Every structure is written in structure tokens, then in C-alpha cells.
Structure 1
Amino acid sequence: MAGRQSVCVAWEVGAQPRIPWPLSTKSRRYSVTLGALRRARVRWQAMAAESRRSGVPIDTDELDARLLDDDETTTTLVVGSWAYAGSGWLEPGDAELAAAAAARAREYDRWRSERSTDSTVG
């Protein structure tokens, strides 16, 4: 049984695929790729969550096609430019909170160093 079919059969019966031979490789030519399995797992989780939420059972017709589709329509947004937005705090209260947190961190560091020197002296 081919890798794609065995994954789909396992999902259709509700089992986790436990197949004694290697199911996936990095080669698209000979087997299901790891990336395709990851995409199928994400799709399955989304389908299962939607089924639980709506109470409608998962339609198993064409399940393998839906799970292992190549995602040719999926796009990735790449931001090619950045703009400097400024530095500092927007509100005076934010600056006060940051200063208080920094003072507390310095106080804690001082306490830890005093504690470690006290334990090594005695």
C-alpha cells in the first residue's frame, strides 16, 4: 500500500498510523514528504476541531485529497521594508513600570550575590 493511501486509511478508521516500514522520506518522487505529513496533520486537527465544535461528522469522501493537497494556492506575505517607529515609552506610566522592574531586578541580583558570598564564607 502506498504511503498516501496508508495514512488516509489509518485516519479514516480513526487510528494513529503505526506502520512498520518507513512512511515518509525527503523525496517527493518516492513517498510522502515530511512537510506533506505536517500539513496533513494540521489539516486533520483543524477538521477534527471543527467537527467537534459543530457536531457534524467528518466526511471521509476525498479525505486523502483534502489532507494531502499540495497547497499551491497558499501564499506567504514577505515584508520587504521596515520603518523606524521611534524609541522610548508611549506613556509615562509605562516608563515608571519599566524603571520599577529594573530596580527590582537589580535588588534581586544584589540579594543573590550577597547570599552566595555569605554561604561561601561560612
Structure 2
Amino acid sequence: MHPKELLLRCYAENKNDQWQAFCIDINIAAQGETFEEVHGKLISMVNGYIYDATVGEHREYADQLLNRKAPLGFRTKYLWYKALFVIGRLRSDTWKLFQEAMPLAPVCSINDADSQIQTAHV
């Protein structure tokens, strides 16, 4: 991660053949049929959110928007999944943890931000 990047903690879970992904650092969620689909949706939503908070129409509220944590239950679940991962009990077909390094420097457009993403899987 570079100093001008924001490292976001995320997780995804599969319930009843539906994947749900959550970014616990800025309280954004997405839903899809596969992990790849929900991961892509979440990243796209996060890109748009960060773009809007840093250079878009809501940039005057950037401090509040970039510090909007998910409710305690979601953050606790992330920590539980992380503990399961560390002890080797996290089943990859049901849960996935991942971190996203997002650029904080303004980008020309949301599509440009999508192309700059670096994914670091935990």
C-alpha cells in the first residue's frame, strides 16, 4: 500500500446461494450470485463512493464520508472471520476476506479508478 491509498477491510459471505459483500470501513454492501460478481459490484460502488467523497459533489463532507464505519455487528463478524482464517477454519466456499487498496488521489473518472485497483486478498 502507498501513503496515498486507503486500505479498506471487506468480507463476503454466501448465504442461500447468494453472495453478500461488505466494506466495514465505509459501510457499503453489495449482493450477487457469485463471489466474482459481488466483489466487482462492491469495488465499483466503493470507487464511486470514494470519488464522490474526494473530488465529486460531496467532497466538502469527505472527512465524515471516509470515516463512516459499519455497525458493530458487521465489524465483529469481520473480526470473527479473520480469527477463523488465522486458525485455518475459514471455508473459502462460504466466506472470503479481502482488503482493497483504493487511491485517495483524485482520478479523472470513476472508470479510471476501477482500472487502478489493487486487490490484496487476506
Fold shared by both chains (TM-score > 0.5):
no
Higher RCO, 1 or 2 (CA under 8 Å, sep at least 6)? Answer: 2
Normalization by structure 2: what TM-score?
0.22
As a proportion of its length, which structure holds more strand? 2
**Which is greater in Rg?**
1
As a proportion of its length, which structure holds more helix? 1
